[in-house]
Amino acid sequence: MPDRRRVVVTGIGLRTPIGHSLAEMAEAFRQGRTGVRAMPEWRKIDHLRTAVAGVCEGVDETAVPRHFRRAMGRVAVLAALSATDALVDAGIGEERIASSRCGVSFGSTAGSSQAMEDYLRQIFASRSLKGLQSSVYIRFMSHTCAANLATMFQVQGPVIASCTACVAGSQGIGYGYEAIRSGRADVMIAGGAEEMHYMDAGIFDIMRATSTRYNDRPDRTPRPFDRARDGLVVGEGGGCLVLEAYEHARSRGAAIHAEIIGFGNNCDGGHITNPSAEGMAAAMRLALEDAGIGAEDVGHVHAHATATEQGDIAESLATHAVFGEGVPVSAIKGYMGHTLGACGAIESAVTILMLKEGFVVPTRNLDEPDPACAPLNHVRGACRPHRFRIGMNNNFAFGGINTSLLFARV
């Protein structure tokens, strides 16, 4: 595509269980600090076996103006706080944001689970609408993050809501990248968010996919690719990248964090929950093809790494099929759990952090790689100095939906 435009990242905003900025997260990685904690309050939920989660502490929800916050559940608040920080980091003026050349591409698994619980409890308990707020639906509608961000920042360009579970954040970034590359926008507010709720844990618990053996040792789970792993840990968070056309960013003298050079997005077309190594590998190859590079050009792969048996094995086989055993591979879910709709955005931000600072994060709790997984060059132990030019971030979701993003230093 000779006429396609270059797309760069000029702003990053975060809310995570281990910090609310890249600097805070980098310090947590170097300390090996976890954001996973025990959830004793979940003991009141009968038959919920898991009791650990990654929770964002110290979030000041009142930082979002009250007249906007009325239509937001926690998931949209996390999105709004992340987006606000990202726009400040990008240094874009209000007139550029509130224009037809700026859009939103933002995802979540769903809307606010807490808002939905509050609504349904009253409806089913009283068979009455009395006392329900008119804004309650806005809080739990599937596109609550994208819609609230568009309203809050008066965006007049394209709005894309990627409500695709564990690839919602990465599709948010990928679709934003495509909107700018094709000329439909100059700026996109892109990413994903998720709020903590026991229903999210319960969904995976029913499937026997959650970690349960480490309820009394939350720092020891999740354990991606490890022989002793026993399932995923749910987490919450928000991640936002401000994407810009390269020429647009240069014209206003913006600092550039990284360039997005490739996006792969496909579907297994098979089982709705069981992952396909072939489908995952195909998404990685699509990203490489989009970027016009070979596997040998990639200096680090950030794995999705849910710490589930089927997911880890399939992903290891896919990564090995594309890259072999040479490229360093690591993942950050061992530090904060699986942030679901937010993970693609948060993990993309961490990929950019590693590109810029010349190191790779180790996979926390990976003590003994599972021999059932394909052999990979896992980063273990401590952060490893490593200068590289191109990094890949992979995410996969129910429905056999696969994404792969490529970021490069500019």
**Is residue 56's pLDDT more than 70?**
yes
| Position 2 confidence tier, pLDDT thresholds 50, 70, 90 | very low
Q: CA–CA separation, 378 vs 325, rounded Å? A: 9
Q: CA–CA separation, 42 vs 8, rounded Å? A: 42
Q: Give phi and psi for 204, each to the nearest 5.
A: -80, -30
Query: For the residues 224-229, what does the mean pLDDT come to?
Result: 98
Q: What percent of the chain has pLDDT over 90?
A: 97
- Min mean pLDDT across 115-129, 243-257, 264-278, 296-310 is at 115-129
**Residue bearing tokens 């072939």:** 278
List residues bridging with 121 in a β-sheet. Answer: none
| Domains of the chain with CATH codes | 7-408 (3.40.47.10)
Name the pairing type of β-strands 328-330 and 300-302: parallel
* pLDDT attached to residue 249: 98
In our burial notation (b when 16+ CB lie closer than 10 A, e otherwise), range 134-167 reads: eebebbbbebbbbbbbbebbebebbbbbbbbbbb
Query: For the residues 122-133, what does the mean pLDDT come to?
Result: 90
**CB–CB of 61/77 below 8 Å?**
yes
Structure-block tokens of residue 203: 């969904």
Amino acid at 306: T
DSSP, res 64: S
Provide the CA 254 distance to its chain's centre, in angstroms: 25
**Is residue 1's pLDDT more than 60?**
no
Q: CA–CA separation, 400 vs 61, rounded Å? A: 34
**CB–CB of 79/64 below 8 Å?**
no
- How high does pLDDT run on average in the chain? 97
Q: CA–CA separation, 246 vs 263, rounded Å? A: 17
Whether the pTM exceeds 0.95: the reply is yes
213 contacts: CB under 8 Å, gap ≥ 6? 221, 230
* pLDDT tens sequence across 341-355: 999 999 999 999 999
Amino acid at 66: R
* pLDDT attached to residue 133: 87
* pLDDT attached to residue 134: 86
Structure-block tokens of residue 128: 């009455």
| Position 18 confidence tier, pLDDT thresholds 50, 70, 90 | very high
Q: CA–CA separation, 155 vs 163, rounded Å? A: 20
Query: For the residues 330-340, what does the mean pLDDT come to?
Result: 98
* pLDDT attached to residue 131: 87
Name the pairing type of β-strands 384-385 and 359-360: antiparallel
* pLDDT attached to residue 255: 98
Query: For the residues 186-197, what does the mean pLDDT come to?
Result: 98
**CB–CB of 116/74 below 8 Å?**
no
* pLDDT attached to residue 13: 98
**Is residue 282's pLDDT more than 70?**
yes
* pLDDT attached to residue 387: 97
* pLDDT tens sequence across 359-391: 999 999 999 999 999 999 999 999 999 999 999
Active site residues: 166, 304, 338
